[in-house]
Amino acid sequence: MPTGWWIGDFLQSGQTAMLFAWIFWVIVSICLHELGHGVAALWQGDDTPRRYGHMTLNPMVHMGGWSLLCFVLIGFAWGMMPVDPSRFRWKRRGRIVVAGAGPAVNLILAALLIPAAGLYLAWTNVETLSDLTAQQRNIHQFLFTGGWLNLALCLFNLLPIPPLDGSQMLAGTTNSMYRLFTSPQAAAYGQFILIAVLFSGVAGVIFGAANAWARSAMFGVTNLAHQHIFTGSS
């Protein structure tokens, strides 16, 4: 019977390994996402991330107490990286680079972890996921969870809704887009739209699609590995 608390539901159903994978990858992925913004900002000539002590892997720095509390309570979290766009050497267009660096990090992680999950599945030489041993299932689950979650975070953050990265990238394209997405009205409306996306099921559709695409890619890698690596065929 569901407890009504996502951590309790994982524990009650005996999915301790899945709970660990989810907590690990949410926190690590958010921190690396924010560090991606920070590295890009430094490259653009803005030392704000370093001056404010955000060039670290410390989750408390990137996520803060409220984000971590929300994550524990409802499974939703966020991160922040202080930057000063007025310092960007590419000015308005620097926003594209700095905002896009976060999702790019998530995409790179997905591109590493999804094939890794596929290769591991091929290496175990089982016909179906249900044939994996408990230990093999935990390792595979850890890799695949990190892969599809990072793909989902990349797609979600590219939505053109303030304060998500997609809106900041669009703000860097033209002067009209800059005025639109940096206006106080855009920030206010963006908060309501983002809440609607989170609770209307749209976010669930994005995460579900990411899971399906990652699963398809993973099995594609598994099949290729069976054909060209682990069977010795060409």
State the catalytic residue, choosing from 34, 85, 97, 149. Answer: 34
Q: Which of 84, 53, 213 is nearest to 147 (CA)?
A: 213
Spatial CA neighbour of 193 closest among 173, 168, 164: 164
Helix 16-43 vs helix 134-157: crossing angle, to nearest 10 = 40
From the list 72, 63, 79, 78, the residue with the least C-alpha distance to 10 is 72
- Joined together, the tokens standing for residue 216 give 């398809």
Residue 47's φ and ψ, nearest 5 degrees, are: -95, 15
Spatial CA neighbour of 76 closest among 145, 1, 6: 6
User: Within 13 Å and on the Cβ side, how many CA atoms surround 8?
Assistant: 7
Q: How far apart are CA 148 and CA 25, in angstroms?
A: 10
34 is known as an active-site residue: yes
- Residues annotated as catalytic are 34
